[in-house]
Structure 1
Amino acid sequence: MSYVIQDHDAGQQLIKDLFGPRVRSLLNTAVGKGYELAIQTKENTNYLNYNKGRGNDILPHLKNYSVEFSIIKYIENGLLPYDFEIKYNSKRTARYFVLFDAHRKIELCVNQVNRKEKIGRPAYYRKQRIESFNSYFTFSENDNTKVITDKPIYFELNHGYQSITPDFVVLGIPSKQGKWLDKVEISREINHIPLNGGIKTTIEEVKDFNFEELQEYIEESERNG
């Protein structure tokens, strides 16, 4: 499998080809549900409400875990066609929530960032993936043909930030320069599923979120680093 990239616009087209409308809608919905779960967890945890400073400090961490938990539920319910892994650096001081397609041709790292223009913060894991990908994926207006060979393609799904609902959810290709090569702001797309007879403007949702399971996921994540 290879992809031919002809110009900058083709990077966005590649994203849309590999992550179709339904998948982009579901990813956006799952992130939004994660924020909802994080807010509900904060509001229903007494010691976080008694100390507003503590609650606000921990909310970004709750969002990370809740978004992960939400995406996992969408996967387990058969809505998102991915597997997932939690990866760590060698000192276990950083963790990475990563999605894979069935053939391990796509690798998608989920990050919380403070601006939609930003990619995930510098880290060894991300640097290795970006350098591996960018070594054979480059854009140049002087050369019309760029070939992506048969290697896992690295993407990021970034969301943020200090808000009740996500201010943005961006799916894109990061570069070695710390910027996007190209991106799609999926939170600005209309959530829809193309059907044979037309378009369905509402997206499937996972209804049976269990707060005890979420609490267990957060506690386990904290124990593992």
Structure 2
Amino acid sequence: MQKENPRKKLEELIVPTNRALITDAVNKGYMLASKASKDFPFISGQEGTTDFLSRMKSLAIKFYMKQYCDKGILPFKYKVKPNETKNHDYLLIYNDEGSFHLTINQCKNMNKPAVPAGYRIQENKNFQSYFDFDFNEYKTSDFNDDNLYLELDHGYQSEQPMFIGLGIPKNDKSWYSVIDLAKETPVLRRNFITKPADIKEIDVDTFKEFIRNKG
């Protein structure tokens, strides 16, 4: 990213109000997953409970992000796409201008982007390899600014997200730029008076139906 400041580019693509709303969606997802998990008594004390809760959080965030887009709270669109083996669907968020597309991922920390996965590799065109015939070697190009791949990575091993990283991944080991929305949002609210999104309380039965329909 030689032409412009990556942080500035990221802040322009997802403006402060929308960053605060994304944070609300993630936080609400965690709360809904926690509430819903208490309604599934069969998992109490069972092996794999932590893994079950982490999957519930992913589904609940997906649920809220779709709600925010459908209701026009976030000015974005989405697609639900199958991964390369067709055994998992992922949510791809994008805007009308086609200037970015974004996946949502669980991570242990925000030091680097999410671990490699087929669908993330497929979506990430920011960091491309090509063969330079003049030098007879493989090189890497900078990304195409017209449709940047972004990641929204959240820390899932707690009651509330430990971090909510919105970033431009360079590859699976480093970022061009990343913002921790969990730390930024309280400041945004003070500066921009951004209130939580006006969505009615979601009952667990509605979320269960969403899960039954596979999101």
TM-score by length of 1: 0.80
Cα deviation, residue 148, structure 1: 6.4
TM alignment of 1:68-87, pairs within 5 A: 68-87=62-81
Query: Partners in 2 of 1:122 and 1:199 — Cα distance?
Result: 36
Aligned to 1:106: 100
Residues 205 and 113 from structure 1, CA distance in 2 versus in 1: closer, same or farther, beyond 3 angstroms? farther
Q: Which amino acid aligns with 2:179?
A: V
SS for the counterpart of 1:108 is strand
Residues 73 and 12 from structure 1, CA distance in 2 versus in 1: closer, same or farther, beyond 3 angstroms? same
Q: Deviations over 1:78-104 (max 9, x none)?
A: 111111112222321343221011233
The CA RMSD measured in Å over matched residues stands at: 2.5
Aligned to 2:152: 157
SS for the counterpart of 1:5 is coil
Residues 25 and 123 from structure 1, CA distance in 2 versus in 1: closer, same or farther, beyond 3 angstroms? same
TM-score by length of 2: 0.83
Please state if 1:17 is matched with 2:15.
Answer: no
Cα deviation, residue 177, structure 1: 4.8
Residue ranges of structure 1 left out of the alignment (5+ in a row): 137-145
SS for the counterpart of 2:165 is strand
Aligned to 1:190: 185
Q: Is the 8 A contact 1:5 1:147 kept in 2?
A: no
Residues 37 and 182 from structure 1, CA distance in 2 versus in 1: closer, same or farther, beyond 3 angstroms? same
Please state if 1:171 is matched with 2:163.
Answer: no
Aligned to 1:210: 203
What is the aligned-residue identity percentage? 26
Equivalent residue for 2:212, pick from 208, 212, 219: 219
Q: Deviations over 1:139-193 (max 9, x none)?
A: xxxxxxx996563211000001210100000100112252212101111013446
Cα deviation, residue 219, structure 1: 2.0
SS for the counterpart of 2:202 is coil
Query: Partners in 2 of 1:63 and 1:94 — Cα distance?
Result: 15
Q: Relative contact order, CA 8 A, sep 6+: which one is greater?
A: 1
Please state if 1:26 is matched with 2:60.
Answer: no
SS for the counterpart of 1:85 is strand
Aligned to 1:126: 120
Query: Partners in 2 of 1:23 and 1:86 — Cα distance?
Result: 21
Please state if 1:61 is matched with 2:59.
Answer: no
SS for the counterpart of 1:206 is coil
**Equivalent residues, number:** 203
Query: Partners in 2 of 1:215 and 1:13 — Cα distance?
Result: 40
Query: Partners in 2 of 1:33 and 1:91 — Cα distance?
Result: 30
Please state if 1:93 is matched with 2:60.
Answer: no
Aligned to 1:142: none
Residues 5 and 207 from structure 1, CA distance in 2 versus in 1: closer, same or farther, beyond 3 angstroms? farther
Query: Partners in 2 of 1:148 and 1:91 — Cα distance?
Result: 26
Aligned to 1:200: 193
Aligned to 2:42: 47
SS for the counterpart of 1:133 is coil
Cα deviation, residue 73, structure 1: 1.5
Aligned to 1:5: 3
